[in-house]
A and B are shown apart, each in its own frame.
Chain A
Amino acid sequence: MQGSPPMKDKNPEIEALLPAVYDELRRLASSYLRRERDAQSLQPTALVHEVYLRMLHDKPMLFQDRAHFCAIAATTMRRILVERARARHALKRGGPAPRVTLDESLAEDTSGQRGTTHGHTAVDILALDQALERLEAMDPARARIVELRYFGGLSVEETARELDMSPATVKRHWSVARAWLARELQ
């Protein structure tokens, strides 16, 4: 797993779109951060939707439909987040940790949140990513729901709309997938 991309299938279409999505996400993430620095959270849902709107506006040819875009955006988000988590992980392990500077304690002081957020236990993102890959092999539909919700930041209702399911079904699929992942991470 180490070093290989988080996705099982290397979709050439997604590969081609990645840089553009990266740029959009970066631009949007920072503008959100700027606006919401004091608010408790960044809203990934809004983030993904704005990326969607902008890219649909700029490059309408590239996407078949909204669901197609959401799939790409969620996969991209997952890939970005897992890469960052891996970098952070390497750093924490004290391994080869090259760096000019890190203001860890400053970050702690100003935001007061790191590792554990809002009382939630910090999740081992790398382990989760690997577990999700195993779930994908076994049950792609439920794995997609986790990807859209956890990495893509969509709500139950939004996920239902993207996947053309009822929210109740999404909720049930989600619950089971989450229970399975929770056990895998124990």
Chain B
Amino acid sequence: MSDWARVSSILERALDLPPGERDRFFTREAGADAALLDELRALSRSYDQAEASAFIDRPLAAAEPDLILNTLHPGQRIGSYEILAEAGRGGMGVVYRARDTRLGRDVAVKCVAEGASPSQKARLENEARMAARISHPAIATVYALEEEPSTGSGQGGGQLFLISEFVDGETLRARVSKGPIAGPELARFAKAIAHGLAAAHREGVAHGDLKPENIIVRPSGDIKILDFGLAETRTGVAPLAAADAVAGTPGYMAPEQLRGQPADARADVFAYGVLLFEMATGRHPFAGDRGSMLEAALSNRAAFDTHELPAAIAAIVARCLAPDPSNRFSTAAELASALETALASSTRVATASRAVWWFLAHQRIVAALVAAMPIVAWIARPAFSRPWGSLVFLLTLAGATAVVALRLNADFIAREHPSELRRHLDAVGRRMWMAELALDACAMAAGMALADRLDWAAGLLFGGGVASIIALSVIEPATTRAALRAISRERPRRD
């Protein structure tokens, strides 16, 4: 205490001195007290820095006026709602968590600043009316719109409160900033948002301001779309865009919105495209600063790279982001069903390619096994009595050549022309199997003939023949059926 009294008194006197003389003054005052001298010098440096940066020179409320926009305090009551805590605030108003004392549940109370312009009030009323039309699990339910008489001298009318479902969780913005969303989670989020939006569009409501800040991911993983403040009906309520300087959020606004032209559900589809791209890559599709972002969105070219996207959604994103609204999905319902199809067939393609992989593996393993037979026969040739060695070798060579050629052919067709595979197997499959069967019989006979003379060759030929017959009769029909089924399912989607 007395230390500080001394420090502060020396410092106050020093601050009147020109900076060059301060240090000499400190040295004289501090005397032998090195700690005191250090403290004085440090504070003197802080003083200069604070001067230079105008540290706390501006009163806080003036520096950050949004801090005093609204001052409902915990414990205050709005009708039967008791304010618990502030949940968040932004330029347009504040959201409180409150307790509905009558129904005993927590609600969100949103209000615009009391001094808000009529257009901001209109926006909140609009939000209430629009969101109240929609009932969908992915959309926060509106409970009520309350008006309280003004606490003041009556200027500006009462204050509006929008009472809605309390949604806890993090914003999609926070989620995306942690990195791209992948796999089943991406599919689940994408579908939930699309279906929620579709529910709105079915009621004739276009959201108008879809962006990651307006979507909440609940701890359970469920999605809620919020903020219908800029929503419009297709039946054409006076667009709020005219009243507000900026209606919407650049970066999520469709080109027609940016140009100030009337926007409809297809503007939501555009914003959804931006959203989906951002979820999948962690990046905004129109990279760069806001200016170039606008330019990219406005220009009639694809400024984004769909190669980064998972194949299943690349085409959907591209169609959502079409600069011309008539090239987009016309509603979110259409978008949602396209998304369902794409995501479903993408999981099917995954299983399809697995079935085809096994089919290919089977062809190659059998080809390798069969190719080994004439080699064994050649080495084992001297063990046969005179003409038989060469005869067995030539027979296995002929059979193996035919089988390997046909197997590799089937492999090639399955890879390059999967749609032709069925026809190909119908045409040559039986002959291939007959040739292989004959070869196996020959190999087994040769193996038996060699028994007691050259046991390793006998074992290889006989065993190879048996293995090949089992593959032919048991394994091959199954893998072939699976591959053909997978290919035929995948085919119609390829257009």
Contact = CB atoms under 8 A, between A and B. Distances in A.
Interface of A: 18-19, 22-23, 25-27, 29-35, 37, 41-45, 47, 77, 80-81, 83-85, 87-88, 91, 94, 96-111, 114, 117-118, 120-123, 125, 128, 138-139, 142, 146, 149-154, 172-173, 175-176, 178-183, 186
A172 B73 CA distance: 36
Contact of B174 (A83, A97, A110, A117): A97
Contacts of A103: 90-92, 213, 227, 229
Contacts of A18: 73
Given A26-B114, A97-B174, A153-B61, A102 B89 contact: yes
B71 A179 contact: no
Chain B interface residue bracket vs A: 35 or more
A43 B5 CA distance: 34
A98 B166 contact: yes
A101 B170 contact: no
A100 B108 contact: yes
19 contacts: A19-B73, A19-B76, A26-B72, A30-B69, A32-B115, A33-B114, A91-B89, A94-B174, A103-B90, A106-B249, A107-B91, A117-B64, A150-B56, A151-B59, A175-B15, A176-B12, A178-B55, A178-B56, A182-B49
B166 A29 contact: no
A113 to B, nearest CB: 9
Given A109-B246, A180-B43, A98 B156 contact: no
A121 to B, nearest CB: 6
A41 B71 contact: no
A149 B59 CA distance: 6
A98 B67 contact: no
Nearest to A148: B59
A103 to B, nearest CB: 4
A183 B42 contact: yes
Interface stretch (B80-88, B457-465, B476-484): B80-88
Contacts of B341: none
Contacts of A23: 151
B43 to A, nearest CB: 5
B1 interface: yes
A9 to B, nearest CB: 18
A133 B89 CA distance: 26
A183 B155 CA distance: 45
Nearest to B1: A138
Contact of B46 (A26, A109, A120, A183): A183
Contacts of B1: 138
B40 to A, nearest CB: 10
A104 B113 contact: no
A81 B68 contact: yes
Nearest to A31: B115
A108 B8 CA distance: 41
B294 to A, nearest CB: 12
A78 B170 CA distance: 29
B110 interface: yes
Nearest to A43: B62
Nearest to B110: A100
Contact of B62 (A122, A128, A153, A181): A153
A139 B156 contact: no
B229 A101 contact: yes
A106 B92 contact: yes
A179 B11 contact: yes
Contacts of A138: 1, 4
Contact of B11 (A32, A41, A176): A176
A117 B58 contact: yes
A-B CB proximity, top 4 nearest? A107-B91, A101-B227, A30-B114, A34-B115
Contact of B115 (A37, A41, A114, A125): A37
